[in-house]
Amino acid sequence: MIKDLHFEVAEFQARLRAVKEEMARKGLDILLLSEPPNQNYLTGYNAYSFYTPQMVVVALDHAQPIWIGRFMDRISATMTTYLAEDNIRAYPDTYVQSAALSAYDFMADIVKEVAGEKARIGVEMGGYYYSARAHADLTRALPLAEFVDADLLVGWIRLVKSPAEIGIMRQAGQLADAAMQRVIDTVEAGVRECDIAAAIYHQQVSGTPEFGGDYPCCPPDLCIGERSIAPHAAWTDDPVPDSTVVNLELSGCRHRYQVNLARTIVVGRPSPEFEKLSEIAVESLNAGLDAIRPGRTCSEVDGAFRQALARHGLEKESRIGYPTGIGFPPASGERTASIRKGDETVLQAGMVFHMMPGLWLDTVGVTITQSFAVSDSGFEPLTKTPRKLVIK
Amino acid sequence: MIKDLHFEVAEFQARLRAVKEEMARKGLDILLLSEPPNQNYLTGYNAYSFYTPQMVVVALDHAQPIWIGRFMDRISATMTTYLAEDNIRAYPDTYVQSAALSAYDFMADIVKEVAGEKARIGVEMGGYYYSARAHADLTRALPLAEFVDADLLVGWIRLVKSPAEIGIMRQAGQLADAAMQRVIDTVEAGVRECDIAAAIYHQQVSGTPEFGGDYPCCPPDLCIGERSIAPHAAWTDDPVPDSTVVNLELSGCRHRYQVNLARTIVVGRPSPEFEKLSEIAVESLNAGLDAIRPGRTCSEVDGAFRQALARHGLEKESRIGYPTGIGFPPASGERTASIRKGDETVLQAGMVFHMMPGLWLDTVGVTITQSFAVSDSGFEPLTKTPRKLVIK
């Protein structure tokens, strides 16, 4: 059977070692990974199957992780992971969305098999794919086990990317640039919003002549006209008016690694006030970027941005950045560090962030952003689209 | 401010009445809806913001639901719901992915405000957006309240669609048909898989000259060659070989209502065995469809399908259908009824299902499906693509 592995097995093993070291430090016998990016990180698994119960089990004294999922998806587990066949376990379809059967009982039996009834088990309490039901079912099925919140255990390890991961993210950045350029070429008065969105998707996925793209973790935020002040609005069928603001966030996704990119595009002639606001946005963004280097904290970078903004009498309500890497729906942002006041995460070479200082005022919004990898001396931009207001 | 409402306010009010009746029957004072489709169903809310904590609160003695979400997304709540401004509540950005602050504390305060500390509260234990952490935080913040699992309370009401909803789903079906036709036109030896996937997205979203499409709940399952037996495989950059099988599931999505469609496409000449298998698949699908009428159970429809299949000595492991309607990532399938043995859900006019009897054998797979609405006397197909193997 084919094997779709995008990293050396040695890299998966190194990731596993780092996770097991952290498990040992926390006294965990078992780590139950419900988050698709963490499953992908440790095994390579990649199929759109995580909407039914699916778990990767790391046992401290078991050489490989164990993948557990739906029967029909075991084929993808064989094709996309480096796991031995007996570490791929599947529950029958009768467990899927059943009122009578819980796939978590099936998983609990495997936990007992590999670590006994009294294991100390880490679970991802705040994950997107660890529902209140999942936790209730597992704790019922394993009454003698001890459950510990290990939500971001793998997330903090994933925060620092390897050279191979950075290589893939450079490609993801190229995909994002190409999609943005496609929009800049496409958008004009009279074009339907849905046709612009369609062009984005087409470009994201068809990619370049050298390589294509994966599905993005989330749709583009294509916010036009009155909706340009609603950061996560849906597009419509309406034609673009003669004179309007387009706030667009999109991404490139390669082998599940996602790089994000946002720009504000003005169709027609921007007002002097709006041009001035966009210049402030870029100046502040650049001030934040210039503050990046290993050893600095996220909070310090945020401070540099806000200081630049404050010189113009402006404040921003929300955080200005988040890490990205392996992403699956619903979101590309890793849930660990934030570039915000009080976040004392120390930057290291290999961390990747989307610096996203959207200025959302009452009646206007400007969003000009930069994804970057922390380098040895500063930052490496992962997209090349110029940091400025686009005027069409 | 603009209002993007796709239904009459009276329809939202009727939905709310049905939900409140069910709440009263279950003795609930409060229903906390974490599922984006349920939020959309009761308020109209639509923005890609559900990856941070977001809730719609239905209080038995409060006239309107209350939307609670992130500060920057309150604009979308105003633009896309019928709610009065004081029923739109937003938490500051400091709550987002914070180790110190929980948005569920903010939500708990609103619950206390509208129903007191001792409310009996329904929550969606099995929902995609009700994490173990959400439940732990809410029960901690509301120690005197009683929590009850009300997971599919709204789901069962949503199962029967109104005429207005069916009207939108007919459009979604047209989008799915157009996307399938685009693939049939595009696929041929030498075309990269990613370029086929790109064409699907482009067509799904650009839609027809009359109306466009929304983002789908999930990517197309474009499973080619060896991956044609892996139902949820990701596409690659590889060119389509001269002779191969393509198993493709895609969708059309209109105002968040999704209709799914799958076909098997053979590039080159199918083997006689494969053609025979596809004929069996269609014959069994049609037998299932012919069994549909109000008053029948899902289990009886499944039985009609399996009987036809068994005549050829075949069995199918998984369920053969699920309902669709309003969908958000990660999945379009509603989690209520399944067309499977033992599911005693009684069909009613207005229910919509995707009958999805993929035959996944060891080395080959065939997937030819039909989305339909239960009509007064049988079924109304929501897509028009002929039910047969496609040969290119």
Confidence band for B207, pLDDT divided at 50, 70 and 90 = very high
pLDDT of residue A363 exceeding 90, the answer is no
Mean pLDDT of all residues belonging to chain A: 96
pLDDT of residue A328 exceeding 90, the answer is yes
Closest approach of B328 to chain A, Cα-based (Å) = 9
Closest approach of B299 to chain A, Cα-based (Å) = 13
Q: pLDDT, tens digit, for every residue of B89-127? A: 999 999 998 888 999 999 999 999 999 999 999 999 999
pLDDT of residue A317 exceeding 90, the answer is no
Q: pLDDT, tens digit, for every residue of B6-48? A: 999 999 999 999 999 999 999 999 999 999 999 999 999 999 9
Q: Does B6 reach chain A within 8 Å, measured CB to CB?
A: no
CB-based contacts of B223: which residues, under 8 Å, 6+ apart? B229, B230, B231, B232, B233, B246, B247, B248, B365
Whole-angstrom distance, CA of residue A107 vs CA of residue B56: 32
Q: pLDDT, tens digit, for every residue of B55-98? A: 999 999 999 999 999 999 999 999 999 999 999 999 999 999 88
Q: pLDDT, tens digit, for every residue of A136-171? A: 999 999 999 999 999 999 999 999 999 999 999 999
pLDDT of residue B189 exceeding 80, the answer is yes
Q: Which of A313-317, B140-144, B306-310 has the lowest mean pLDDT?
A: A313-317
Q: Does B133 reach chain A within 8 Å, measured CB to CB?
A: yes
Q: Give residue B57's pLDDT.
A: 98
> Backbone dihedral region of B262: left (phi > 0), alpha (psi from -120 to 50 degrees) or beta?
beta
Q: Give residue B107's pLDDT.
A: 98
Chain B residue with minimum CA distance to A206: B195
Residues 329-358 of B with CB under 8 A from A: 329-331, 333, 335, 338, 340
Q: What percent of chain B has pLDDT over 90?
A: 95
**Distance separating the N- and C-terminal Cα atoms of chain A:** 50
Q: Does A121 reach chain B within 8 Å, measured CB to CB?
A: no
Question: Mean per-residue pLDDT for A197-222?
Answer: 98
Q: pLDDT, tens digit, for every residue of B173-187? A: 999 999 999 999 999
Give the DSSP H/E element, type plus range, for residue A78.
Answer: helix A74-80
Residues 61-100 of A with CB under 8 A from B: 71-73, 75-76, 79-80, 92-94, 96-98
**DSSP result, A165-220:** HHHHHHHHHHHHHHHHHHHHHH--TT-BHHHHHHHHHHHHHH--SS---PPPSS--
Chain B residue with minimum CA distance to A316: B93
pLDDT of residue A381 exceeding 80, the answer is yes
B45 within 8 A of B39, measured Cβ to Cβ = yes
Q: What are the sequence ranges of the domains in chain B?
A: 9-158, 163-391
Q: Does B238 reach chain A within 8 Å, measured CB to CB?
A: no
Rg (chain A; Cα; Å): 22
pLDDT of residue B1 exceeding 90, the answer is no
pLDDT of residue B362 exceeding 80, the answer is no
Q: Which residues on chain A are in Cβ contact (under 8 Å) with B329?
A: 218, 329-330
A340 within 8 A of A297, measured Cβ to Cβ = no
According to DSSP, residue A324 is labeled E
Confidence band for B202, pLDDT divided at 50, 70 and 90 = very high
Whole-angstrom distance, CA of residue B262 vs CA of residue A142: 40
CB-based contacts of A78: which residues, under 8 Å, 6+ apart? A1, A85, A88
Q: Give residue A97's pLDDT.
A: 86
Give chain A's length.
392
CB contact under 8 A, B233 and A79: yes
Q: pLDDT, tens digit, for every residue of A57-103? A: 999 999 999 999 999 999 999 999 999 999 999 999 999 988 889 99
Whole-angstrom distance, CA of residue B73 vs CA of residue A151: 26
Domain B9-158 has CATH 3.40.350.10: yes
Q: Give residue B358's pLDDT.
A: 84
Q: Judging by DSSP bridges, how do beta strands B120-123 and B146-149 pair with one another?
A: parallel
**DSSP result, B164-198:** HHHHHHHHHHHHHHHHHHHHHHH--TT-BHHHHHH
pLDDT of residue B280 exceeding 80, the answer is yes
Whole-angstrom distance, CA of residue B39 vs CA of residue A144: 38
A254 within 8 A of A176, measured Cβ to Cβ = no
Q: pLDDT, tens digit, for every residue of B244-274? A: 999 999 999 999 999 999 999 999 999 999 9
Q: Does A197 reach chain B within 8 Å, measured CB to CB?
A: yes
Name the CATH topology of B163-391. Answer: Creatine Amidinohydrolase (3.90.230)
CB contact under 8 A, B2 and A198: no
DSSP-H helix ranges across chain B: 9-25, 36-43, 74-80, 103-115, 132-141, 153-158, 163-186, 193-206, 272-290, 298-310
Q: Judging by DSSP bridges, how do beta strands A321-328 and A331-333 pair with one another?
A: antiparallel
Q: What percent of chain B has pLDDT over 70?
A: 100
Q: Give residue B338's pLDDT.
A: 96
pLDDT of residue A321 exceeding 90, the answer is yes
Q: pLDDT, tens digit, for every residue of A165-201? A: 999 999 999 999 999 999 999 999 999 999 999 999 9
Q: Judging by DSSP bridges, how do beta strands A146-149 and A120-123 pair with one another?
A: parallel
Q: Which residues on chain A are in Cβ contact (under 8 Å) with B215?
A: 197, 219, 234
B interface test, pick of A206, A223, A343 with most B CB neighbours within 10 Å: A206
With a threshold of 0.90, tell me whether the complex ipTM lies above it: yes
B285 within 8 A of B305, measured Cβ to Cβ = yes
